[in-house]
Each structure stands twice: as C-alpha cells, then as structure tokens.
Amino acid sequence: MTMREKIEEAAVRYPDRRSAIMPALLIAQKEHGHLPGPVLEEVADILGVERIWVYELATFYTHFHTEPIGMFHLQLCDNVSCMLRRSEDLLRHMEDVLGIKKGGTTPDGLFTLSTVECLGACEMAPVMQVGDDYHGDLDVARIDALLNSLRATAGRVVGVEPASIRPSGE
C-alpha cells in the first residue's frame, strides 16, 4: 500500500478527517523516518485539512520527529520506578560506550540516545524502548549485549534505507 492509501484507510475510521491527522503522521513517520516540512504538507494535502493543524500536532506530541534521528532510537526510561532501579547508571554507561551525550546521535547514524518518561512497564524497571520493542530488567551486561545485537542487525541490513528498519519483532 502507498502512504496515501494507508492514510485513506485510517481516515475512514472517523466521521471527521481532522481526526486522522495523528494516525496519518504516524504512518508518514514510519515511511520517511522523520517528518520534514514537505512531508507535513503532503499529509495535509492528502487529508484535505489546514496545514497549520498538521504542524500543530507534529510539534505538540513527543513521538513526532521533525529532525532526523538515528537508525535505532534508544529510549531509556528515567522516571521514578526506573530511577529507583538505577537507570542513571545505565545512561552514563551508554553515554560512555557510545561516546555521545543524551539527546545525541552517534556519528555513524546508528544510535540516538534519549531519556523518556514512564514507559508503563515499571514492573521490569529499568526499561528501555528501542523501536517497537521493550527491554526490561536491564543492567550493564544486558545493555552491552543489546547494543551488540543491534549493531549486528544493522550490519545485516546495510543497503536498506535506515528509517524502515526495525530491530526485531516484526
């Protein structure tokens, strides 16, 4: 299905096409990796809604990226339950081994490192989301193993457009 078809399919679920902006942005982001201006305009055109409505949502919700991010987005939870299980040690460790600070992307474009609010999986704190997958009960050894397996995944799929890669589970 093309992006337009997917968006049209989402739009029929609502009596008002404006409601489909959020689903459309999620579809567009999956397609393009991030949401630069021309993509936002395309979404507005497909749905036939005001461009400003689309811009408003793309900037309000934290899952929408108007700037490019790495192939793997490492989203470590540092909210209270994860903090109590020492997520900050894991952040420091990842900053060290990746050579970037939180918010940064590795020069090879492989990893973007962020901290996020509660992922709703506090029973397995500390938790990190990478792409569609949750990784819980983390410690330094598990983080190292995870980073290595992500690197290996990236190696296997060289040549594929980075943004369309999902590390596992699909």
Partner 1 sequence: MFDPVLLRNIGDPDSRLLSTYEAGGGYRALAKVLHEHSPDEVIDLVKASNLRGRGGAGFPTGMKWSFVPKRNDKPKYLCCNADEGEPGTFKDRIIMERDPHQLIEGLAISAYAIGAETAYVYVRGEYVMAIRHLEHAIAEAHEKGYLGRKVLSSDFNFAIHIHCGAGAYICGEETAMLESLEGKRAQPRLKPPFPAVAGLYASPTVINNVETLVCVPHIIMRGPDWFRDIGPDKSPGPKLYCLSGQVRKPGLYELPMGIPLRELVEDYAGGALPGRKIKAVIPGGVSAPLIPERGLDVGMDFDSLAAVGSMLGSAGVIVIDDSTCMVKVATRIIEFFHHESCGKCTPCREGLDWAVKVLHRVEAGQGAPDDLDQLKALCKGIFGNTFCALGDGAAMGLRAALQHFEPEFVAHIEERRCPFH
Binding residues: 77, 82, 118, 122
Written as six digits, the tokens of 123 are: 């029973």
φ, ψ for residue 35 (rounded to 5)? -120, 75
Q: How far apart are CA 48 and CA 28, in angstroms?
A: 15
Q: Is 69 in the site for ligand FES (CB under 6 A)?
A: no
Q: Which helix (H) or strand (E) holds 111?
A: strand 111-116
For the chain, what is the largest distance between any 2 Cα atoms, rounded to a whole number of angstroms?
Answer: 50
Between residues 121 and 157, which has the closer beta carbon with respect to ligand FES? 121
Between residues 30 and 108, which has the closer beta carbon with respect to partner 1? 30
What is the rounded radius of gyration, in angstroms, for the C-alpha atoms of the chain?
18
Taking the complex as a whole, the smallest distance from the CB of residue 162 to partner 1 amounts, in Å, to: 19
Q: Choosing among partner 1, ligand FES, none, which partner's interface includes residue 90 (Cβ < 5 to 8 Å by kind)?
A: none
Taking the complex as a whole, the smallest distance from the CB of residue 2 to partner 1 amounts, in Å, to: 20
CA angle 11, 14, 19 (to 5 degrees): 75
* Closest CA relative to residue 106, chosen from 151, 159, 143: 151
Among 50, 80, 160, 161, binds ligand FES (CB under 6 A): 80
Chain centroid to Cα 169, Å, comes to 15
Binding site residues, partner 1, CB under 8 A? 13-23, 25-26, 49, 53, 56-57, 60-64, 78-81, 83-85, 116-125, 129, 132-134, 169
- Binding string, residues 103-132; x marks residues near ligand FES by CB under 6 A: ---------------xx-xx--x-x-----
Binding residues for ligand FES, per CB under 6 A? 77, 79-82, 118-119, 121-122, 125, 127
